[in-house]
Amino acid sequence: MSTFPNTPRTLKGGIVLLDPETSALQRIIALQYNPDTLSRTLQAQGTGENGDRSEALRLKAPPVETLKLEAEIDATDQLEFPDSNPNAVQAGIHPQLAALETIIYPTSSQLLANNGLAQGGTLEIIPMQAPLTLFIWSKNRVIPVRITEFSITEEAFDIALNPIRAKVSLGMRVLNVNDLGFTSKGGSLYMIYQQQKERLAALAPGGTFGALGIGGIP
């Protein structure tokens, strides 16, 4: 039991997978430990890059936003109580790693179905559709994303060479309404995400000209 029972519970970040057609929940992946840092990069999408002065202040789309984090997965504590954690004993952290890795895999049934179509002489095979992936980082950030980078460093193993500790680095690109459209579930969630940014921006205290060392705009 915690020494401080009234300590607020820390929320976990994670990933939620939805069916891209029906928005039905497919999987919730909660990160075992929240990463210490979350790096975000925003690239403005202007129209004035071609030197046209009339376009210098125009924005053609939301910025391209990318996210990067490094998460740790560790089965050490679970292995201390093998009777309560048989999966950790048998497979280490393979299940947790596989849950993340398979986000960027087409399913085996999709691969087999497409192979069947190819063997049957189908000339044009539609690319396989992945789940709608949401990165959750508090209620203020429920973000549709595409995973663009994924690396795993396995750092410790049990006697059967199952990984029992690893670091996972994820790179994600935020999918906005230009990618998903306004009427899709992902597009709707992106708009909620942007509108929440605007509400938070309205709470930020305004500055003064004096703080900038000027009396006003000349």
Q: What is the pLDDT of residues 23-49, one digit of tens each?
A: 999 999 999 999 999 999 999 988 766
pLDDT band at 1 (very low <50, low <70, confident <90, very high): very low
Sign of CA dihedral 49, 54, 57, 59: negative
What integer is the mean pLDDT of 124-143? Answer: 92
Instruction: For residue range 45-69, list pLDDT tens digits in order.
Output: 887 666 677 778 888 899 999 999 9
pTM for this prediction = 0.88
Q: pLDDT band at 77, cuts 50/70/90?
A: confident
Tokens linked to 65: 């936003």
Residues facing 71 on adjacent strands: 168
Alpha helices (H) along 17-167: 76-79, 86-91, 94-101, 108-119
Report domain extents, the chain.
Answer: 14-46+57-194
Q: What's the rounded Cα separation, in Å, for the pair 137 and 150?
A: 18
Who has greater pLDDT, 182 or 7?
Answer: 182
Sign of the CA dihedral 44, 47, 50, 54?
Answer: negative
* Torsion sign across C-alpha atoms 113, 118, 122, 126: positive
* Segment 176-210, tens digit of pLDDT: 999 999 999 999 999 999 999 999 999 999 999 99
Helix, coil or strand: residue 77: helix
Chain position carrying tokens 């199952």: 162
> Which amino acid is it at 60?
K
Give long-range contacts, CB 8 A cutoff, 24+ apart: 58-64. 61/176, 61/178, 62/176, 62/177, 62/178, 62/190, 62/194, 64/173, 64/174
Give me the mean pLDDT over the 3-25 stretch.
86
Handedness of CA 102, 108, 114, 115 (dihedral sign): positive
Among candidates 92, 87, 58, 97, which has minimal Cα distance to 75? Answer: 92
Residue 93: pLDDT above 70?
Answer: yes
Q: If you average pLDDT over residues 118-145, what whole number do you get?
A: 90
